Amino acid sequence: MISQPTYFEAQQWAFSYVKAHNGYREDATWLLRAPHEWDETALLVHLRDSMPLAEWQQYQTNVQRVCAGWPPQQLVGKAPFFGRWFTVTGNTLIPRVETGDLVEWLLADYPENEEKRVVDLGTGSGNIGITLKLAHPKWQVTLTDISPQAARVAETNAHRLGAAVNVVVGDLIAPLTGQFDVLVMNPPYIAPSEQAQMDASVLEHEPAQALFAPENGLAVYRRLAVEAPRVLLPHGRIYLEIGWHQGEAVRQLFETQLPAAQVTVRQDEAGHDRMVRVCL
């Protein structure tokens, strides 16, 4: 084995390793790029550079661990979201593309940089709320999470990315004071009975508290339908990510609890229900 390879040689070693251990070439390349936050073009520029010894040793470990089922984002402690890199840990979900679609929907509804009071509930790494604050600096953005550990990760990301947000610890709207224009959340929405269909790496390495909810995954939506109006201003809105098969159930839940509200379900690029907007 080469003692100090170029990035190209390290990549070729990794391709050979993942092929022999049922891994993925995409993960091997991602693990090469992520520590430097390189895109694919930047990696090409650096392929002939020598890889520092400590980085080479860590890369070998990471490639071996990703083949053993570890999410690559947790191995490097960061993940991309909406063009920025966010610190992630075992106490936070790894940001997904679908959540970016939710952020895009919200931003499209408020194109002008006017003052709004926004809460990112169950913030995790803070990726939703921080992205909104950086897109609209005039907004007052609060991040909440029931997990103190997750809240600390969100604070770290906000500080590093220069987002002046308020981070509070508590369950859903419990720690909030005052009223707000928008509540947004990627809640736990997986029914415990669905664990058998899930990727083992998610079950083993991401927080169950952020994944699973009782009542067939609908418990948090039901609570928000009851509790959210207390902290929302007139004509306030709620934006939520949902499971692909939950659109009609979540719509009915909010329409029953809030008969005057307008509930819209939106699909992802694959045509699956993935987001809900509730306009009071």
Residues 56 and 181 in one domain: no
Asked if 125 and 191 count as a contact pair (C-beta separation under 8 A), the reply is no
Q: Amino acid letter at 97?
A: V
Chain length of the chain: 280
Contact yes or no for 152/121 (Cβ under 8 A): no
Model pLDDT, residue 214: 85
Tracing tokens 């890889």 back to the chain, one arrives at 51
**Structural domain count, the chain:** 2
Q: Is residue 2 part of a domain?
A: no
Buried-state track 85-119, b at ≥16 Cβ within 10 A, e below 16? bbbbbebbbbbeebbbbbbebbeeebeeeeebbbb
Q: Is the same domain home to 174 and 224?
A: yes
| Domain boundaries, position 170 | 78-279
Does one domain contain both 140 and 168? yes
Please indicate, yes or no, if residue 243 is contained in any of the structural domains: yes
Residues 6+ apart with CB under 8 A from 65: 75
Query: What pLDDT score does 187 carry?
Result: 96
Confidence of residue 1 (pLDDT cuts 50, 70, 90): low
Burial class of residue 234 (count of CB atoms within 10 Å of its CB; 0-12, 13-18, 19+): exposed
| CATH code of residue 131 | 3.40.50.150
pLDDT tens-digit readout, 53-111: 999 999 999 999 999 999 999 999 999 999 999 999 999 999 998 899 999 999 999 98
**Is there a single domain that holds both residue 60 and residue 168?**
no
Q: Which of 51, 74, 97 is the last residue of a domain?
A: 74
Contact 220, 228 (CB under 8 A): no
Alpha-carbon Rg of the chain, whole angstroms?
20
Q: What is the pLDDT of residue 111?
A: 81
* Ranges 14-23, 60-69, 267-276: which has the least confidence: 267-276
Same domain? 62 vs 116: no
Structure pTM? Answer: 0.94
Handedness of CA 104, 109, 111, 113 (dihedral sign): negative
If asked whether residues 244 and 158 sit together in one domain, one would say: yes
Both 139 and 102 in one domain: the answer is yes
Tens digits of residue pLDDT in 150-191 = 999 999 999 999 999 999 999 999 999 999 999 999 999 888
Three-state secondary structure of the chain? CCCCCEHHHHHHHHHHHHHHCCCCHHHHHHHHHHHHCCCHHHHHHHCCCECCHHHHHHHHHHHHHHHCCCCHHHHHCEEEECCEEEECCCCCCCCCHHHHHHHHHHHHHCCCCCCCEEEEECCCCCHHHHHHHHHCCCCEEEEEECCHHHHHHHHHHHHHHCCCCEEEECCCCCCCCCCEEEEEECCCCECHHHHHHCCHHHHHHCCHHHCECCCCCCHHHHHHHHHHHHCEEEEEEEEEECCCCCHHHHHHHHHHHCCCCEEEEEECCCCCEEEEEEEC
Same domain, 83 and 178: yes
Same domain, 175 and 90: yes
Is 41 in the same domain as 83?
Answer: no
